[in-house]
Structures are given as C-alpha cells and as structure tokens.
C-alpha cells in the first residue's frame, strides 16, 4: 500500500470524524450519520489495502 493511499484513507476518516462531531454539536442527525458512513468507508478501504499487503508478502 502506498503512502498516498494511507494518507487518503486517514484524511477521509478524519473528515468523517469532523462531520460526525459537527452533526452532534448542531443536533443534525443526517450530518452525523454521513460522518459515520465516511469513517466506515475509510476503515473498509484501509482493511482492503491491509489484506492486499498481506498477500503480497
């Protein structure tokens, strides 16, 4: 996995955490759910990259 992919996934996860926090602070359930979705997506991508890396070895 390239460093760029790791950074991209980390940035997506951070953006999701920020959206979730803003959604909680403003009592916006839609934004909060969107942030959770973004975090889950980033985690899934990261897991996929980790699996690919494991098979490369």
Longest dimension (CA), the chain: 46
Question: Residue 50: pLDDT above 80?
Answer: yes
Q: What pLDDT does 31 receive?
A: 97
- Calpha distance 14→19 (Å, rounded): 9
Higher model confidence: residue 29 or residue 1? 29
This prediction has a pTM of 0.84
pLDDT by residue (tens digit) across 11-48? Answer: 999 999 999 999 999 999 999 999 999 999 999 999 98
Q: What pLDDT does 5 receive?
A: 86
Q: What pLDDT does 1 receive?
A: 57
C-alpha distance from residue 46 to each of 1, 20, 32, 35 (Å): 9, 19, 21, 17
């Amino acid at each position: 996995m390239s460093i760029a992919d790791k950074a991209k996934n980390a940035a997506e996860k951070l953006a999701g955490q920020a959206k979730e926090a803003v959604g909680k602070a403003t009592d916006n359930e839609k934004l909060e759910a969107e942030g959770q979705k973004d975090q889950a997506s980033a985690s899934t991508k990261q897991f996929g990259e980790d699996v690919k890396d494991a098979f490369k070895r």
